[in-house]
Amino acid sequence: MTPYVGAVDQGTTSTRFMIFDIRGRIISIAKKEHDQICTRPGWVEHDPIQIWTHTKAVIEEGLAGACLEGKDLAAVGVTNQRETVLAWDKITGQPYANAVVWQCTRSDQICAELIQEGGQDRFRQKTGLPVATYFSGPKIKWLMDNIPDIKAGVEKGRALFGTMDAWLIWNLTGGPGGGRHVTDVTNASRTLLMNLETLEWDKDILSVLGIPSQALPAIVPSVDPKGFGMTRADGPFRAVLPIGGVLGDQQAALFGQTCFEAGEAKNTYGTGCFLLFNTGEAIQFSRHGLLTTPAYQILGQRPCYALEGSIAYAGALVQWMRDNLGLIQKAPDIEALAETVADNGDVYCVPAFSGLFAPYWRSDARGVIAGLTQFAGKGHLARAVLEATAFQTKDIVEAVKKEFQGGLDFKSLKVDGGMTENRLLMQFQADILNAAVIRPEISETTALGAAYAAGLAVGLWSGLEELKRNWAVHSTYLPQKDRAWRENLSAGWEKAVQRTLNWK
């Protein structure tokens, strides 16, 4: 069997294709950014055709960069921004409208009505999730209620709904000419429509939202050699290849970090920031604002579950500082700017641009910059922007500790994603958590997790233990600050968070 496996990583700001070898080492990367379409405050859209076009382009570029052809790959994996959802016509293959992005708050009125009728946790015992604009189900209802073509398509049996993995798989496997309409358990779980016990669409919730099950994709395990179908020979791979593994991006990062045992955790610093804590085969419902979600499922095995803390704005906050304020030219420049000052000057930035996610779940919150004095400069703001990601992560870690009633000794955290290259942020993260922060040798763990899942499905790797042997440490950051320092800064952050509430 060929020792190479490919992974499509369809993210919030870009789409990438990466090729890995049997040791999990990167052979090639190709990347294209797509447009962030914001037509109203709180609304975020993506163009599905642009994303599909970019997907085809990066696959071709990635293969060329590795001097390989599609037939040289053992399998293909897919990972994707979760919760982002779209509707398309199964006859023409054309989307009815732009995709509604996970950050988008247009379904806030639908969620408010659901909460008024049954409380924010009305579906939690089935789905592990609170009612929130974050999830795909209310977005699907909004599309049906507000776009006549979609409503007509549903009535005619032509409309298909799906998260971005389903859209890409459908196109890769044939599109209107017989594409597979399928998703995996991790992506399905982010819709607010899947029952965690049965791993099927919940009929009662579908009835409440008025969503027909026949318009939704079939749900299959994350690692499945046949469940996702084969790529078409006339597609971008120019070969018939198994799509062996599919995982939502954060579950893919957990898989790529080889956090296969209960008690292991990872935090991904990307557009948003997402901490997943493996709870094994046990479904543990949160009492402190965390989400319960499948971590992954291998065909023929029980699913592995996780607790998750989701943060909407991490790297996206740095992009906002670059694009909207013009204080830096490139995202990496923020580290040098932040290093021009010794501390944050008592300035805090809370990026509640579309409300606060875990552990607060407050859609009424909006972003603030607090603690400004005449002394504050752009260096202090840069530091506050970086520290915001670390403070939000600390909120999640504290919520995880509360779930275990103080019985969890959180000594280390595996980290990945683009922001882990920022040494100032990683050291601050270790200091504010009072825990070691460990960055792996391969930081592209989201794509790596999809590649691992795909290769595992076709027997490229023998099992999870072999994957664990591939993992290696790049760098470790140890805490250097005392308790008084942590408590003082944390108190300032908590005051700033309170200023964001009841704005909308």
The 10s digit of each residue's pLDDT in 437-486 is 999 988 889 999 999 999 999 999 989 999 999 888 999 999 999 999 99
CA distance 252 to 258: 10
Of residues 189, 292, 289, the one with CA closest to residue 247: 189
- Give the per-residue pLDDT at 433: 93
CA distance 450 to 54: 19
Mean pLDDT of the chain: 92
Q: Are 418 and 457 in contact (CB under 8 A)?
A: no
Q: How many H-runs (helices) and E-runs (strands) does the chain carry?
A: 16, 22
CA distance 269 to 275: 9
Neighbours of 453 (CB within 10 A): 32
330-339 residue pLDDT tens: 889 999 999 9
CA distance 51 to 59: 12
Q: What residue has token string 């120019």?
A: 238
Q: What's the whole-number mean pLDDT along residues 210-233?
A: 95
CA distance 11 to 248: 10
Helix axes of 136-146 and 148-156: crossing angle, nearest 10 degrees? 100
- Give the per-residue pLDDT at 270: 82
- Give the per-residue pLDDT at 406: 62
With a pLDDT cut of 70, the percent of the chain lying above it is 99
Strand pairing report for 436-440 and 473-477: antiparallel
Q: What residue has token string 């997907």?
A: 55
Q: What's the whole-number mean pLDDT along residues 109-138?
A: 92
374-395 residue pLDDT tens: 998 999 999 999 999 999 999 9
Token pair belonging to 304: 């592995």
Task: Give me the amino acid identity at 89.
Answer: D
20-52 residue pLDDT tens: 999 989 999 999 999 989 888 889 999 999 999
Q: Is the pLDDT of residue 409 over 80?
A: no
| CA-based end-to-end distance of the chain | 56
Neighbours of 185 (CB within 10 A): 25
Residues 6 or more apart in contact with residue 84 via CB below 8 angstroms: 12, 46, 99, 100, 101, 102, 136, 163, 164
Helix axes of 483-500 and 423-433: crossing angle, nearest 10 degrees? 100
Q: Is the pLDDT of residue 326 over 70?
A: yes
